[in-house]
Chain A
Amino acid sequence: MTTTGTHVGTQGESPSDDVVGFRNQLRARWQALPERTRIGTAIGLELVLAILFFFVDHSLGIAVGVVAAVYWIFRLPLLPWRLASQVVLTGLFLIFGPRSFGVLLAIGFALFWVPRRHRTWVLPLAAVAGSALYPFYQQKMFTIPVFGVWPDVATGVYMLVFIMMAVGLNIVVGYAGLLDLGYVAFYATGAYTAAWFASEQFAHRRWHFGAVGLDPTLPGIHITIWILLLLAGVITAIFGILIGLPTLRLRGDYLAIVTLGFGEILPQIARNGDNLFGTGINLTNGPNGITPLDSLGFGNTLSRWTGGFLPANFLQCCNANVLGHQIQSTDVFFWVAIGLLLITVFCSLRLQYSRLGRAWIAIREDETAAAAMGIPLMRTKTWAYASGAFFGGVAGAYYAVFKSATFPGDFFFNISVFILCMVILGGMGNITGVIVGAAFLAYLNQEGLANTGSWINTNIHFGSHHPNIDVPLYASGIYGLIILIVMLFRPEGLIPSRRRAAELHEGVHDESLYDVAHAGAEA
């Protein structure tokens, strides 16, 4: 093919000639500097920052320095400099303490020496192992600057449960692109299912099925938790289908509003459920909630096999002592939660690349085109709803069992947005991102905000005036701020899925005419 010679328009110009916008100009000028100057300036700035922070809080200054050091270490040539500096940095902490941080650093550096092709399985494995062993080393960990001590194991269970929910919501929002603002309804359904079938709520019945460690004469329905988790998932999934069937033909924002409506109605039913419409039916025990719930138990056989490591039931929990750590019932809940999360993540990953998962992505990217290619819209969307609901239900049931209670006050709209915020922060459609985002936000909600607040109140002061901010009070505003910042500056989230990022940056609309010049300059 030969070029005919004349190009119409300005396509021939190189892009660097027409740098528009203050930010881009600044960036271009920075990149024009010699590399040595750039590195020197950056290191100098980081040093100044570290010293400044050192005066606010010593450990924070050190932390900033270490983060900067780690960043530059990974830009050094592999041998001998990177290895040497890593050994020196680790050694410093191992000798002068905090020693636990030295160990963490050593493990971290070691993981990055694993060849790239093996990392895909080594890193997740290390993450799982690290979490599973968490109860053993949690007490021995160093204090993190600003965030304080490492979260305790109960917070770990909370985090895992919310990661499960976030992974579930990610199927609906991230894969299928259906905005669900009422995910809390699924959480509530799961929790109340667990509460109905593993407590004395229906005291006029007495039906035990596999529940361990209970007095057999105890009134109420008592089904073993293992079946109950599955049951809660299935019931919630059916509920999701029931909600989905009439609503899923609505598009985008209308669907969001309808789900929001369901998310508001359901908790109100729970709140008023102690005397439904004056009929005297006590379904949910109203604002007092249903408590206590039966707990986990592994049965005598399993307990004997593991030498008492897994408790037969929670009345006898726990008499095992492993690695100098007295096993608590919370630890067992933590491990079971890890197991559940692994199943969830496995299913979610398998779904993502299945025929169904690809259909979800097609619908998300262009519904009309997907329908034209023969994808049954309603059925595919309903499956997304059902799968998302299933995991929400399991997580809700498990959390109710862990807390041994279900209160209607747990199911506010805030929780829906909180879970949505996890998905958005981490990166819609990317499991790793969602897990990281969810873990971080759940931690913030449970301990992090309180710790950060007390850090701010003690360390930041103007003369002798200390602020007295109740940071956890403003949790929802902080999530709102996170949502706003992420949507404006990095809509694909912290750890994006590449496909989703492309979508969000290109936009799925046609660009509007009047704004084309402006949009072109921004991109």
Chain B
Amino acid sequence: MGITGLVFVVALIVLLVKEFTVSPSQFAQATLIGLTNGAVYALIALGYTLVYGILELINFAHGDVFMLGGMFTITFATHFFNLHHGQGFAIIPIVFATLILTMLACGGINAAIEFLAYRPLRNAPRLAPLITAIGVSFIIEDIGLAWKGPNYITAPDVFPHSNVFSVGGVNYQWNHLLVVIITVPVLLALLWLVQQTRQGKAMRATAQDQDAAAIMGINVNRTISFTFLIAGCLAGAAGTLYALWATTVRFDQGFQLGLIAFTAAVLGGIGNLPGAVLGAVTIGLIQSWNEALPWHMPGSDWTESIVFSILILILIFRPEGLLGERTPEGG
């Protein structure tokens, strides 16, 4: 295994160096966009990782909660706050308020899903909640479909497209940077929550051993609900950023992006928070390199196949992921 992995990594590096020499500016551009991709994926992937860490459940519905987040964002921003292009700095409080509202809405929905669909199956065989999660995912997808219809809906394109810098043909625009700028504090807040607060301690204890946590006086059910709430909030944040950055949302986007983000979580080591971020950035970069690099890359037709191949290879050869997982599963 070790040699296979090494050969694979070396081949990848050689490929990337070749790409870089063919066109350094395109390479840099693709890398920067990949970071933005990765930031959005990181927010979604963290939700998967949090839930998996505590319940060992792949929450298929998570990607669809993210999609709902995009829809909430568009509704809040355009209908409540009348957000539109060319408002200058007035967009800052509006985007902030939309972000908070969307996070709350998605967090509430995610916690409700846990309460209604997963909690009754806590003691069922392991596959039962997984199958249920698929069902919930389909239901939410169709709620989105019934709400906003089968076509793409557009968000107002309010993030400025002017260049942050433009060096040697590499243009980095503000709308890409803004996504990263908003993501980082959210990630830091999450790390602080999980590692420094009492509630975070309860989450970590419950993830390690539910029974022991219960004996120590932790309200396990409430902790699990809280975890789903946080995961939903992250999905909501990702939804807001994605909607305002990509400016289009459709009911079936959540599933695909959710699976990509799940791959990121597995790549980093599911259950491991920094791992999820690392995996997400890696996947974001791979996707953007694949789609934007000039020299013999498979192109966007093959993005899903590449991402899923990574998923399969990781699960087969290194189920604990890049940074290792806490859970005893896999292998």
Q: Which chain B residues border A507 with CB–CB below 8 Å?
A: 123-125
Do residues B311 and A512 form an inter-chain contact, with CB atoms below 8 A? no
Q: Which chain B residues border A177 with CB–CB below 8 Å?
A: 127
- Check: A291 CB closer than 8 A to any chain B CB: no
A interface: dominant SS: helix
Within 8 A of B (CB), among A474-517: 474, 476-484, 487-488, 491, 503-504, 507-509, 511-515
Do residues A504 and B124 form an inter-chain contact, with CB atoms below 8 A? yes
Q: Which chain A residues border B57 with CB–CB below 8 Å?
A: 253
One digit per residue, 1 when the CB lies within 8 angstroms of any chain B CB and 0 when it does not, for chain A 264-277 equals 11001101100001
B interface: dominant SS: helix
- B210 to chain A: closest residue by CB: A512
Q: Which listed residue, B128, B146, B215, B304, touches A474 by the CB 8 Å rule?
A: B146
Do residues B311 and A473 form an inter-chain contact, with CB atoms below 8 A? no
Q: How large is the interface on B (under 10, 10 to 19, 20 to 34, 35 or more residues)?
A: 35 or more
* A249 vs B298: C-alpha distance when bound (angstroms): 30
* A216 vs B192: C-alpha distance when bound (angstroms): 74
- Check: A258 CB closer than 8 A to any chain B CB: yes
Residue from A250, A257, A474 whose CB has the most chain B CB atoms within 10 Å: A257
- Check: A122 CB closer than 8 A to any chain B CB: no
Do residues A483 and B210 form an inter-chain contact, with CB atoms below 8 A? no
- Check: A209 CB closer than 8 A to any chain B CB: no
One digit per residue, 1 when the CB lies within 8 angstroms of any chain B CB and 0 when it does not, for chain A 222-235 equals 00000000000000
Check A515/B143 contact, CB under 8 A, given A253-B58, A271-B301.
no
Do residues B309 and A268 form an inter-chain contact, with CB atoms below 8 A? no
Q: Which listed residue, A420, A421, A491, A512, touches B122 by the CB 8 Å rule?
A: A512
Do residues B135 and A256 form an inter-chain contact, with CB atoms below 8 A? no
Do residues B131 and A250 form an inter-chain contact, with CB atoms below 8 A? no
Do residues B311 and A261 form an inter-chain contact, with CB atoms below 8 A? yes
- A486 to chain B: closest residue by CB: B135
- Check: A115 CB closer than 8 A to any chain B CB: no
- Check: A9 CB closer than 8 A to any chain B CB: no
Residue from B296, B312, B329 whose CB has the most chain A CB atoms within 10 Å: B312
Check A515/B134 contact, CB under 8 A, given A261-B312, A476-B141.
no
Within 8 A of B (CB), among A378-413: 413
One digit per residue, 1 when the CB lies within 8 angstroms of any chain B CB and 0 when it does not, for chain A 86-110 equals 0000000000000000000000000
Q: Which chain B residues border A481 with CB–CB below 8 Å?
A: 135, 138-139
Q: Which listed residue, B135, B214, B312, touches A480 by the CB 8 Å rule?
A: B135
Q: Which chain A residues border B316 with CB–CB below 8 Å?
A: 246-247, 250, 258
Do residues A515 and B122 form an inter-chain contact, with CB atoms below 8 A? yes
- B262 to chain A: closest residue by CB: A257
Q: Which listed residue, A271, A421, A504, touches B125 by the CB 8 Å rule?
A: A504
Do residues B145 and A473 form an inter-chain contact, with CB atoms below 8 A? yes
Within 8 A of A (CB), among B139-159: 139, 141-143, 145-146, 150
- Check: B193 CB closer than 8 A to any chain A CB: no
Check A513/B130 contact, CB under 8 A, given A264-B259, A476-B138, A477-B138.
no
Q: Which chain A residues border B262 with CB–CB below 8 Å?
A: 257
Check A491/B124 contact, CB under 8 A, given A247-B312, A254-B319.
yes
- Check: A359 CB closer than 8 A to any chain B CB: no
* A484 vs B131: C-alpha distance when bound (angstroms): 8
Q: Which listed residue, B121, B255, B311, touches A488 by the CB 8 Å rule?
A: B121
Residue from B117, B122, B127, B329 whose CB has the most chain A CB atoms within 10 Å: B127
- Check: A181 CB closer than 8 A to any chain B CB: yes
**A: number of interface residues (CB 8 Å):** 55
Q: Which chain A residues border B132 with CB–CB below 8 Å?
A: 483-484, 487-488
Q: Which chain B residues border A28 with CB–CB below 8 Å?
A: none
Check A480/B138 contact, CB under 8 A, given A258-B311, A269-B305.
yes
Check A476/B127 contact, CB under 8 A, given A258-B312, A261-B311.
no
- Check: B136 CB closer than 8 A to any chain A CB: yes
- Check: A349 CB closer than 8 A to any chain B CB: no
- Check: B100 CB closer than 8 A to any chain A CB: no
Q: Which chain B residues border A514 with CB–CB below 8 Å?
A: 210-211, 214-215, 220
- Check: B85 CB closer than 8 A to any chain A CB: no
- Check: B330 CB closer than 8 A to any chain A CB: yes
Q: Which chain B residues border A257 with CB–CB below 8 Å?
A: 58, 262, 266, 311, 315
Q: Which listed residue, A265, A474, A503, touches B305 by the CB 8 Å rule?
A: A265
Do residues B255 and A480 form an inter-chain contact, with CB atoms below 8 A? no
Do residues B215 and A513 form an inter-chain contact, with CB atoms below 8 A? yes
- A251 to chain B: closest residue by CB: B329
Q: Which chain A residues border B305 with CB–CB below 8 Å?
A: 264-265, 268-269
Do residues B123 and A511 form an inter-chain contact, with CB atoms below 8 A? yes
Within 8 A of A (CB), among B92-148: 117, 120-128, 130-132, 134-139, 141-143, 145-146
* A250 vs B143: C-alpha distance when bound (angstroms): 34
Do residues A417 and B134 form an inter-chain contact, with CB atoms below 8 A? yes
- Check: B331 CB closer than 8 A to any chain A CB: yes
Measured CB to CB, the closest approach of chain B to A100, in angstroms, equals: 36
- B120 to chain A: closest residue by CB: A488
- B308 to chain A: closest residue by CB: A261
* A488 vs B210: C-alpha distance when bound (angstroms): 22
Q: Which chain A residues border B58 with CB–CB below 8 Å?
A: 253, 256-257
Do residues A487 and B138 form an inter-chain contact, with CB atoms below 8 A? no
Measured CB to CB, the closest approach of chain A to B113, in angstroms, equals: 10
Do residues A509 and B125 form an inter-chain contact, with CB atoms below 8 A? yes
Check A504/B302 contact, CB under 8 A, given A254-B329, A265-B308, A480-B142.
no
- Subset of 26 A-B contacts with CB under 8 Å: A251-B330, A252-B329, A257-B262, A258-B312, A261-B312, A268-B302, A277-B298, A473-B150, A476-B138, A477-B138, A477-B142, A477-B143, A479-B135, A480-B136, A480-B139, A480-B142, A483-B132, A483-B135, A484-B132, A487-B131, A487-B135, A491-B128, A512-B211, A514-B220, A515-B122, A515-B220
List the 4 closest A-B pairs by CB distance, nearest first: A477-B142, A480-B138, A514-B214, A483-B135
- B-side residues, CB < 8 A to A, are 56-58, 117, 120-128, 130-132, 134-139, 141-143, 145-146, 150, 210-211, 214-215, 220, 255, 259, 262, 266, 296, 298, 301-302, 304-305, 308-309, 311-312, 315-316, 319, 329-331
Contacts A256-B130, A269-B305, A515-B123 aside, 6 further interface pairs with beta carbons under 8 A come to A246-B316, A268-B302, A417-B138, A473-B145, A488-B120, A491-B124
